[in-house]
């Protein structure tokens, strides 16, 4: 089969067309261009889309993964040549089923091709079912080995021996083994379970027979106990009749006692007529006693009350001032002291006066008497003024020293600071004193009002005695009530104990007492109940076991089931042996051809370096390079060499299984170096002479080689 052209509305492809030619087709495109989408589209067109598949957390179903991004219905068309006929196949969405409608017709005339249907299209065109085409006709870089480990060896072995590296043959063998183990595995499985159920049914039939015999014996014992119980019940009725006669006499005496108690009760009630209740009297006594205790406590507090604190006073020279006024006076005096001690101006005046007097004397000597007089008067004024300032300053300093006792302003504020501390302590003590006295006065006032409300003009002690007498009267009335109630309850108890009893209907010949009779009745009743319980258990167990006829029928069915399982077990054993023989035959016939052809293909791709592939007895592969004397396992080779070996095996399998189908390669040469990539492209050109090859790649070097 050769594909001419594919047109797809599939995933990211929107009416995209891919034109192909016979032989080798190299399609170079970047990542996310749609190469893998074209591969999935080809499979969907040939074999249809599995619409029953469900998406999981780790994998999307194809119907969701390749739904057109544009929202258009999924559809596609392939023009191809099959057995010399140009044919077109189309699939479109039918209602809500993607690719649900199929058409196959001759491209030129449009005549339907009846032998191609939606179900058999791929198998008719390619000659193999979808699973074979996916494993042999498609080779993807994602399916090439990633790591060189034991799983790689298993995949290579499976690919060589069966043509399928998915392990489906081993899976089938394991399923047969699991089914055989399900029938019988040591002591577990369906067959041992059925045999155990058969043994259980046989034991149930034996148990059912024994239970029938025991039930008959228990029924005889129950009849004997029933006769003895009838005699005991008749004797108990005779004893009850005798007890009823004696109870009537006791009731008469109790009625007399009750009447006397009721008389005393009526007298006590008359004495309590109009008196307060006991609760009110008790509450009043509690209030009076509490008042008495509170009154004594507050009198003790008055005696223990502290004295009023003494107010501190500022010392001289601050007497009569507040601390703020004292500090203001200190600041003014400090300023005056600072000015008095400042003698710079005074000295200048004195010096100017002295110099002026000297100048006046000089002028007199020169006969300038007018100027000498003016200078002398001015100098004398300055000198007097300076001397006066000096005297005034010293007088002020002495006055301040006398006033404060010191000329250091820092020490002047010490009395005020000490007074502030004493004043703060005084205010705290005064506040505490006022709180105590005010609280005490308020409490005393409240207590007086409370006493007036409770006692009036009487003393609390006298009122307590009066209310205590009320309680005593109430106690006497309560005692009379209890006595009357107890007498009434005694009469009621005696009356309830007296049960009307008739004379026994049968003559009583037993001599047991009431206690002995009750004990015998309890023992016989207990024995009867025990026998009935056991009989009920036997009958319940018999009902649980079921009908004997039904059990025999089930036993026969179980024996038939065991025979069927034994036949199945034997058939599965034969199937295992047959599968093993078929696998061995397949390995014997298929493996040598695959290995031989893969050896040729690997030699061409590696430039003759690896010309020998050796299969060992356990079907593992070893490779031998030209310069190596000893073959080595494939796990010893590089990642690129492993890809080349795997590609050679897959190509050999494709030649065996799908010789007429197109071969689709998706980025399979990613890890090939340039030399081996070139050799692989030459190999693809040779293979393309006999079949169509579609090679997708994301690199430009493949096209450059061509």
Interhelix angle 190-271/548-605, nearest 10 degrees: 120
Please name the residues in contact with 650: beta carbons below 8 A apart, sequence gap of 6 or more: 136, 139, 159
Spatial contact of 694 and 665, defined as CB atoms under 8 Å apart: yes
For 671-682, how does the pLDDT look when each residue is reduced to its tens digit (9 = 90+)?
888 898 899 999
User: How far is it, in rounded angstroms, from Cα 99 to Cα 92?
Assistant: 5
Cα 456 to Cα 459: distance, rounded to the nearest angstrom:
8
Q: How confident is the model at residue 632 (pLDDT cuts 50, 70, 90)?
A: low
Question: Distance between CA 169 and CA 173 in Å, rounded?
Answer: 6
In a domain? residue 57: yes
pLDDT band with cut points at 50, 70 and 90 for residue 89: very high
Q: What is the pLDDT of residues 417-465, one digit of tens each?
A: 777 777 777 777 777 777 777 777 777 777 778 777 778 777 777 878 8
Task: Decide if 523 is inside a domain.
Answer: yes
Claim to verify: residue 417 and residue 330 sit in the same structural domain: yes
At 493, list the tokens.
């108890």
Residue 519 lies in a domain: yes
Q: How many residues comprise the chain? A: 706
Pair (19, 130) in one structural domain: yes
Instruction: Determine the structural domain holding residue 576 and report its residue range.
Output: 148-183+547-657
Same-domain check for residues 31 and 98: yes
In this structure, the answer to whether residues 9 and 122 fall within a common structural domain is: yes
Residue with tokens 């043509």: 163
Check pLDDT > 70 for residue 149: no
Inside any domain, residue 157: yes
End-to-end CA distance of the chain: 24
Tell whether 245 and 350 lie within a shared domain.
no
Q: Are residues 617 and 605 in the same domain?
A: yes
Structure letter (DSSP) for residue 78: E
Query: Considering only 152-166, 532-546, 598-612, which range has the smallest mean pLDDT?
Result: 152-166
What pLDDT is stored for residue 657 in this prediction? 79
Separation of alpha carbons 490 and 256, rounded Å: 11
Residues 495 and 594 in one domain: no
Predicted local distance difference test score (pLDDT) of residue 27: 92
Find residue 81's DSSP bridge partners. Answer: 2, 86
For residues 221 and 266, membership in a common domain is answered with yes
Beta strands in 56-126 (DSSP E): 75-82, 85-94, 97-106
For the segment 309-327, the average pLDDT, to the nearest whole number, is 69
Q: Residue 420 falls within a domain, yes or no?
A: yes
Provide the pLDDT for residue 660: 81
What is the mean pLDDT of the segment spanning 350-379?
A: 66
Instruction: Kindly give, in sequence order, each residue whose CB lies less than 8 Å from that of residue 249, ignoring residues fewer than 6 positions away.
Output: none
Q: 653: closest CA among 161, 232, 223, 267?
A: 161
- Judge whether residue 165 has pLDDT over 60: no
Kindly state whether residue 198 falls inside one of the protein's structural domains: no
- pLDDT of 291 > 80? The answer is no
Distance CA(307)–CA(139), nearest Å, equals: 113
Domain boundary among 519, 545, 571: 545
249 vs 8 pLDDT, higher one: 8
Range from 31-35, 342-346, 505-509 carrying the lowest mean pLDDT? 342-346
Span 102-132, pLDDT tens digits: 999 999 999 999 999 999 999 899 888 887 7
Per the CB < 8 A criterion, the answer to whether 27 and 694 are in contact is yes
DSSP-derived secondary structure for 611-651 = EEEEE-TTS-EEEEETT-SS-EEGGGS-HHHHHHHHHHHHH
Last residue of a domain, one of 490, 510, 545: 545
**Same-domain check for residues 124 and 42:** yes
- Per-residue pLDDT tens digits for 414-430: 666 777 777 777 777 77
Q: Is the pLDDT of residue 574 over 60?
A: yes
Res. 398: pLDDT tops 80 = no
Reported as a pLDDT band with limits 50, 70 and 90, residue 80 is very high
pLDDT at residue number 618? 46
In this structure, are residues 87 and 105 in contact, taking their beta carbons and an 8 Å threshold?
yes
Higher pLDDT, 340 or 544: 544
Whether 163 has a pLDDT exceeding 60, the answer reads no
Same domain for 125 and 154, yes or no, is: no
- pLDDT class of 340 with cuts at 50, 70, 90: low
Contacts for 110 with CB less than 8 Å, ≥ 6 apart: none
Q: Output the domain CATH number for residue 112.
A: 3.40.50.300
Residue partners of 332: CB distance under 8 A and separation at least 6? none
Which residues does 261 contact at the CB level (< 8 Å), separation at least 6?
480, 483, 484, 486, 487
Q: 143 lies in a domain?
A: no
523 has a pLDDT exceeding 90: no
| Residue 558, CA distances (Å) to 186, 231, 552, 564 in order | 20, 54, 10, 10
Rounded-to-integer distance, Cα 18 and Cα 7, Å: 6
∠ CA 615-618-619, rounded to 5°: 40
- Of 529, 545, 561, the residue at which a domain comes to its end is 545
- Residues 6 or more apart whose CB falls under 8 angstroms from that of 28 comprise 697, 698, 699, 700, 702, 703
Query: Are 558 and 641 in a shared domain?
Result: yes
Kindly report which listed range (90-99, 363-372, 647-656) carries the lowest average pLDDT score.
Answer: 363-372
**Is 129 contained in some domain?**
yes
**Given strand 610-615, what is the order of strands in its sheet?**
610-615, 621-625, 632-633
Look over the chain and give the mean of its residue pLDDT values, rounded to a whole number. Answer: 79
Write the pLDDT tens digit of every residue in 9-21: 999 999 999 999 9
Question: Do residue 161 and residue 211 come from a single domain?
Answer: no
How far is 534 from 526, CA to CA, in rounded Å? 12
Would you call 281 exposed, middle or buried from its count of C-beta atoms within 10 A (0-12, 13-18, 19+)? Answer: buried
693-697 and 24-28: which strand pairing?
A: parallel
The count of structural domains within the chain is 4
């Amino acid at each position: 089969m050769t594909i001419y052209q594919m047109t797809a509305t599939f995933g990211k492809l929107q009416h995209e067309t891919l034109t192909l030619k016979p032989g080798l087709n190299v399609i170079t495109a970047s990542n996310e261009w749609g190469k893998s989408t074209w591969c999935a589209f080809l499979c969907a067109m040939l074999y249809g889309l599995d619409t029953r598949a469900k998406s999981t957390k780790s994998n999307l179903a194809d119907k969701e993964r390749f739904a057109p991004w544009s929202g258009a219905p999924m559809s596609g068309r392939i023009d191809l040549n099959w057995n010399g006929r140009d044919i077109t196949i189309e699939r479109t969405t039918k209602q809500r089923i993607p690719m649900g409608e199929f058409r196959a017709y001759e491209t030129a005339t449009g005549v339907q091709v009846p032998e191609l249907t939606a179900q058999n299209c791929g198998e008719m065109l390619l000659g193999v079912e979808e699973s074979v085409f996916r494993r042999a006709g498609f080779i993807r870089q994602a399916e090439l080995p990633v790591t060189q480990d034991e799983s790689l060896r298993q995949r290579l072995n499976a690919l060589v021996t069966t043509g399928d590296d998915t392990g489906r043959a081993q899976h089938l063998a394991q399923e047969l083994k699991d089914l055989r183990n399900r029938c019988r595995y040591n002591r577990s499985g369906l067959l041992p379970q059925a045999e155990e159920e058969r043994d259980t049914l046989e034991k149930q039939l034996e148990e059912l027979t024994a239970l029938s015999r025991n039930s008959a014996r228990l029924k005889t014992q129950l009849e004997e106990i029933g006769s003895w119980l009838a005699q005991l019940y008749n004797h108990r009725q005779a004893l009850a009749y005798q007890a009823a006669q004696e109870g009537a006499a006791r009731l008469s005496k109790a009625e007399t006692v009750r009447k006397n108690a009721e008389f005393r009760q009526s007298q006590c009630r008359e004495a309590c007529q109009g008196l307060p209740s006991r609760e009110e009297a008790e509450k009043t006594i509690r209030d009076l006693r509490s008042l008495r205790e509170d009154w004594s406590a507050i009198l003790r507090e008055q005696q223990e009350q502290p004295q009023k604190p003494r107010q501190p006073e500022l010392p001289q020279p601050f007497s009569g001032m507040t601390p703020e006024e004292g500090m203001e006076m200190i600041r003014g005096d400090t300023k005056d002291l600072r000015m008095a001690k400042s003698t710079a101006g005074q000295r200048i005046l004195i010096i100017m006066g002295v110099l002026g007097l000297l100048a006046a004397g000089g002028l007199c000597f020169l006969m300038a008497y007018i100027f000498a007089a003016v200078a002398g008067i001015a100098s004398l004024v300055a000198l007097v003024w300076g001397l006066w300032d000096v005297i005034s300053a010293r007088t002020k300093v002495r006055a301040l020293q006398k006033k404060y006792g010191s000329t250091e302003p820092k020490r002047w504020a010490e009395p005020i600071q000490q007074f502030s501390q004493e004043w703060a302590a005084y205010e705290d003590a005064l506040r505490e004193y006022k709180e105590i006295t005010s609280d005490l006065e308020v409490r005393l006032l409240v207590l007086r009002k409370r006493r007036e409300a409770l006692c009036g003009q009487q003393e609390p002690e006298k009122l307590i005695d009066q209310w205590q007498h009320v309680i005593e009267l109430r106690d006497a009335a309560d005692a009379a009530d209890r006595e009357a109630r107890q007498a009434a309850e005694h009469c009621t108890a005696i009356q309830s104990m007296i049960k009307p009893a008739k004379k026994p209907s049968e003559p009583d010949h037993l001599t047991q007492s009431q206690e002995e009779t009750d004990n015998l009745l309890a023992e016989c009743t207990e024995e009867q109940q025990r026998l009935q319980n056991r009989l009920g258990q036997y009958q319940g167990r018999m009902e649980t076991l079921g009908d004997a006829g039904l059990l025999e029928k089930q036993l026969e069915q179980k024996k038939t089931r065991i025979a069927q399982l034994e036949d199945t077990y034997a058939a599965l054993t034969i199937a295992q042996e047959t599968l093993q023989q078929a696998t061995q035959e397949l390995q014997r016939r298929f493996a040598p051809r695959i290995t031989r052809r893969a050896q040729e293909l690997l030699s061409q791709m590696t430039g003759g370096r690896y010309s020998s592939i050796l299969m060992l007895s356990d079907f593992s592969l070893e490779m031998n390079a030209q310069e190596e004397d000893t073959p080595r396992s494939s796990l010893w080779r590089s990642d690129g060499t492993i890809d080349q070996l795997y590609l050679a095996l897959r190509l050999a399998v494709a030649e065996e299984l799908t010789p007429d189908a197109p071969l689709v390669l998706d980025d399979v040469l990613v890890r090939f170096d340039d030399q081996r990539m070139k050799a692989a492209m030459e190999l693809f050109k040779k293979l393309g002479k006999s079949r169509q090859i579609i090679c997708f790649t994301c690199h430009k070097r493949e096209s450059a080689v061509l």
